[in-house]
Amino acid sequence: MEIKSVGIVGAGQMGNGIAHVMALSGYDVRLNDISSDAIDAALALITRNLDRQVTREKISSADRDSALSRIQATPDLAQVAQSDLVIEAATEREDIKHQIFEALLPNLKPETILTSNTSSISITRLASRTDRPEKFMGFHFMNPVPVMQLVELIRGIATDAETYDACLAVVQKLGKTAASAEDFPAFIVNRILMPMINEAVYTLYEGVGNVESIDQSMKLGANHPMGPLELADFIGLDTCLAIMNVLHDGLADTKYRPCPLLTKYVEAGWLGRKTQRGFYDYRGEVPVPTR
């Protein structure tokens, strides 16, 4: 099946980036969110990011205008369901994802492929609650979507080869690289990345180093472009905690136990950049470590 239209549920950090790259690659995009403010913010951000690409001569102004014309914002899930490919990019909570798929099902075309941008939740389990587990996949973009080159494609136990091939063709048309992952908790990237971040939080929690020394050590000692605590703030500490809980629950291994300090930050509402405070305080001109 040739995919021409893409429906995206969730206009937040991931959803707006997915809409951006899909429209720029020639797909007709239907962007949905329960919040009209979120949709307005997403369209404004997409426009700014496209303008930046024009300024840097990555794309032409005609490319930008064409991409923007392909994005249709809609509060109506029924319209999104009429797309050839639907990508759920809502918050990393399984109950919310199930609600979204249940709302989509009555209006889906028989051939529509359903996917989730989940970073850790079982694709097989999500698919089992739909009417098309063979046409269901994990379609996990990295953040920020317009910049990062990798997309994880995750097959559930029932995903058929035709569905995988169709999604692979989309990734290739986007000019990105696909990594095929099996359906185990957190897949490949986050299975490796999140325990590293969690261990950095433990290093802070146990007083081995402060925020600055931990991040500086990994940037200068391991040549990481961002320190693990800085990266955690960028991802969102609530998302990091959610993925660690999925790993801990799904694999039943104590090495995946979330650090109590990570839990404490989330309980405080200090979720990183999106709330202006996490392991760094972003309310001033320069980020300041909070520990």
**Which residues carry out catalysis?**
119, 140, 152, 190
The 10 Å Cβ neighbour count of residue 199 is: 14
CA distance linking residue 156 with residue 152, whole number of Å: 13
Phi, psi of 153 (to 5 degrees): -105, 120
Region of residue 54 (left: phi > 0; alpha: psi -120 to 50; beta: else): alpha
Quick one: tokens of 196?
């590293």
Quick one: tokens of 125?
């389990």
What lies within 8 Å, CB to CB, of 62 at 6+ separation is: none
Helix (H) or strand (E) holding 241: helix 237-251
Quick one: tokens of 45?
């951000």
CA distance linking residue 29 with residue 180, whole number of Å: 25
Contact (CB, 8 A) for 16 and 52 = no
Bridging pattern class, strands 280-281 and 113-116: unpaired
CA distance linking residue 159 with residue 133, whole number of Å: 6
Phi, psi of 136 (to 5 degrees): -125, 135
